A and B are shown apart, each in its own frame.
Chain A
Amino acid sequence: MAAPDRQDRLARVDGHTLVIDARDLTKTYQMGEIEVHALRDATLQVHAGEFAAIMGPSGSGKSTLMNILGCLDQATTGTYLLDGVDVNRLKDNQLSAIRNRKIGFVFQSFNLLRRTSAIENVELPLIYAGVVGRQRYERARHALEAVGLGDRIHHHANELSGGQQQRVAIARALASQPSLILADEPTGNLDSVSGEEIMGLFQSLNEQSGITVIIVTHDLRIAMHTRRIIRIADGVITGDEPVLEQIVASHEPLTKSVVGDKAQAAG
């Protein structure tokens, strides 16, 4: 698959709404006498269907930015509209609901529940969304099929390879059909082959199903798999540019389209 050129990308982006509209986000921690500015006046827009990377060395504030974008934390000042919702004003329980419906997390260390099958892990966000019974099971199964694990839905986490575990985690992120998938160093615990596979999976989810994906990484090679790199250092966004030479991961074709699943689940 060839990298789409800049005109292509802009055309696609312009046709979609803003998923992330963050303006002047500041996060300040009080460490005893000293004020630590983890994030300073960060302004960022991400449109639906984008595939972007937030890059920076450790301590740069990229985790803080991700936590705020993921509604796990709230900015000290600034405004953040997620899918048009001003999340900086929301209460704890409302943030939980937003995370549940609009965001799918993928973590470096997978964070699957032990002694629990793949499908039950994927069902987890659906439980909190109040989806019950057969519908919950079917949606979880579709999500697992979308990441190519349709034949391993009853395997427990410890019976799966690292790459497969991360696929389960991605299926879990997909299950509630969020507006945005936030992946924090998703290949950090994987060998290069599995890492490549995971990036390929993100690419096809984005290309074929139009899912908005943001990857947080310190690894330029991983960032080069996306189409836009946002650089951050010392809590300040220092750069924001499209990826001109996107690395296209070699991956097996998806067994099923997630868009199709969406239509099915909605109907």
Chain B
Amino acid sequence: MYLLDVARLAWRTLLANKLRATLTMLGISIGVGAVIALLAVGAGVQSYITQQFSSAGTNLIVIIPGHIQQAGGNAFGPQAPLSMADYRAVEADTPFLVNTSASYGQAANLTFESNTTQVNVNGVTPSFKDVRNWNVRLGRFIDDSDNGGRSRVVVLGQTTTNDLFAGDDPLDKVIKINNIPFRVIGVMEAKGSTFLGDQDAVAFIPLSTAQERLFQKSALTANGDRRVSNILLQVTDDGARPVVEASVKDLLHERHHLAADAEDDFSVVSQAELIRTFSDVTSVLTTFLGAIAAISLLVGGVGIMNIMLVSVTERTREIGLRKAVGATSRAILSQFLTEAIFLSLLGGAIGIAIGIGGAYAISLIASGFTPVVKSSAIVLAVGFSFVVGLFFGIYPARRAARLNPIDALRYE
């Protein structure tokens, strides 16, 4: 018996029982659809997160005060402030650096005429915009002379601008930060909101102005130096990252006079590491949800088995006749197995369409990310539904193949 005949026969049998075939396929379609949709949403969220981190700048390493525990326990271990001296030492002694920036910031009240808003006011070095890959939309960014002169100039984030000026031109207007007047010299490009919050609800002033004028008291360290909230390092490439991290850790460990076996009182966090951590989390979640969805595929498979058993019983006489006219057990087996595999593959194909549609529907509701339908997910779904058809089809098909033709022909 030729493959084409087997396929044609299976197809005709399915057409002869359209409603039954459709309902049986539905089980597989829902299972495959759920797996495809979840994998697509998972991959979409993952690429969204990666993109969000990358938009902060590339090959970034952040040094912050305090020790972040890797797992469990208190979130923060020993903590000591970072100082300008630390920053200068890191900048001077670390290899593979492209650029660096330090910042010191706190929440502060901004007022313009009757408008008031509270945002994070960050004192930054002029290099900040290059390290963070973040340019001004209007005016200019803080430059060396601003920083050297402790100028009272401010560059506003987009949200802050909207809150204070409501569409008016903000350039060269004077606003008050904690009642000290600052002149607006620029407006940053909008970065948008992420799961980390609104990146545009912010204002930037020269680092020296923040440390020595605006937040003068809180920025002062015990030995008369000035604090920094964090240090940003841009390294040449991802390969240089481990070297830079090790170098920074050694340097700061020594500078903070910590015993050789003591925990660091600061943390070196790399962007690449954060991306990996978040990717790992979403991968685990996606896999977990996908596995749950795969259970419904099994349920669909049981449905196929059930309907194939009914079909074998209904067609006992037909099977008897086929055997009488010369069908081998193998031919009967392949006939019923092909039917089961057709059901599951067709159901799988419909499920892929449902899954892709479902993923886009989810992305419309929870906007922000684009679902990513990987070809590997489709191959997986098709492969899985084939295996389900094979697995759940084999028992009914064997039952059909083993029927005794004499009994089968006599069956009423």
Chain A residue numbers with a CB within 8 Å of B1 are: 127-128, 130
A6-60 with Cβ < 8 A to chain B: none
Identify which of B180-188, B205-213, B320-328, B369-377 touches chain A: B320-328
Any A CB within 8 A of the CB of B2: yes
Give the Cβ gap from B408 to chain A, nearest Cβ, in Å: 10
Which B residue's beta carbon lies closest to that of A66? B406
**B320-362 to A contact mask, C-beta < 8 Å, 1/0:** 1111111111110000000000000000000000000000000
A91-109 with Cβ < 8 A to chain B: 92-93, 96-97, 99-101, 105, 107
- Please state if B324 and A72 are interface contacts (CB–CB under 8 Å): yes
Give the interface residue-count category, chain A. 20 to 34
Bound-complex Cα distance A169 to B167 (A)? 89
Bound-complex Cα distance A130 to B331 (A)? 11
Which B residue's beta carbon lies closest to that of A64? B406
Bound-complex Cα distance A124 to B321 (A)? 10
Q: Contact check: which of A111, A125, A132 meets B326 at CB < 8 Å?
A: A125
Bound-complex Cα distance A70 to B405 (A)? 11
- Please state if A113 and B325 are interface contacts (CB–CB under 8 Å): no
**A72-106 to B contact mask, C-beta < 8 Å, 1/0:** 11000000000000000000110011011100010
B300-320 with Cβ < 8 A to chain A: 317-318, 320
Chain A residue numbers with a CB within 8 Å of B331 are: 96, 128
Any A CB within 8 A of the CB of B16: yes
Chain A residue numbers with a CB within 8 Å of B321 are: 107, 111, 113, 124
Any B CB within 8 A of the CB of A129: yes
- Please state if A128 and B2 are interface contacts (CB–CB under 8 Å): no
- Please state if A96 and B406 are interface contacts (CB–CB under 8 Å): no
Give the Cβ gap from A103 to chain B, nearest Cβ, in Å: 8
Any B CB within 8 A of the CB of A134: no
Chain A residue numbers with a CB within 8 Å of B326 are: 96-97, 99-101, 125, 128-129, 176
Bound-complex Cα distance A97 to B324 (A)? 10
Give the Cβ gap from A21 to chain B, nearest Cβ, in Å: 22
Any A CB within 8 A of the CB of B409: yes
Q: Contact check: which of A92, A93, A172 meets B325 at CB < 8 Å?
A: A172
- Please state if B323 and A96 are interface contacts (CB–CB under 8 Å): yes
Any B CB within 8 A of the CB of A206: no
Give the Cβ gap from B221 to chain A, nearest Cβ, in Å: 91
Any B CB within 8 A of the CB of A221: no
**Known interface pairs A67-B406, A72-B405, A111-B409; A100-B2 also in contact (CB < 8 Å):** no
Any A CB within 8 A of the CB of B168: no
- Please state if B325 and A105 are interface contacts (CB–CB under 8 Å): yes
Q: Contact check: which of B5, B317, B329, B406 meets A72 at CB < 8 Å?
A: B406
B98-113 with Cβ < 8 A to chain A: none
Bound-complex Cα distance A176 to B331 (A)? 18
Chain B residue numbers with a CB within 8 Å of A132 are: 2, 4-5
**A107-146 to B contact mask, C-beta < 8 Å, 1/0:** 1000101010000000011011110100000000000000
**Known interface pairs A115-B16, A124-B322; A92-B2 also in contact (CB < 8 Å):** no
Query: Beyond A105-B324, A111-B409, A128-B331: 8 further Cβ-contacts under 8 Å?
Result: A72-B324, A72-B405, A96-B329, A101-B326, A111-B324, A113-B318, A113-B321, A125-B325
A contact set with B: CB distance below 8 Å: 67, 70, 72-73, 92-93, 96-97, 99-101, 105, 107, 111, 113, 115, 124-125, 127-130, 132, 172, 176
B contact set with A: CB distance below 8 Å: 1-2, 4-5, 16, 317-318, 320-331, 405-406, 409
Return the 7 tightest CB-CB contacts between A and B, nearest first. Answer: A100-B326, A125-B325, A128-B326, A96-B328, A111-B321, A93-B328, A128-B327
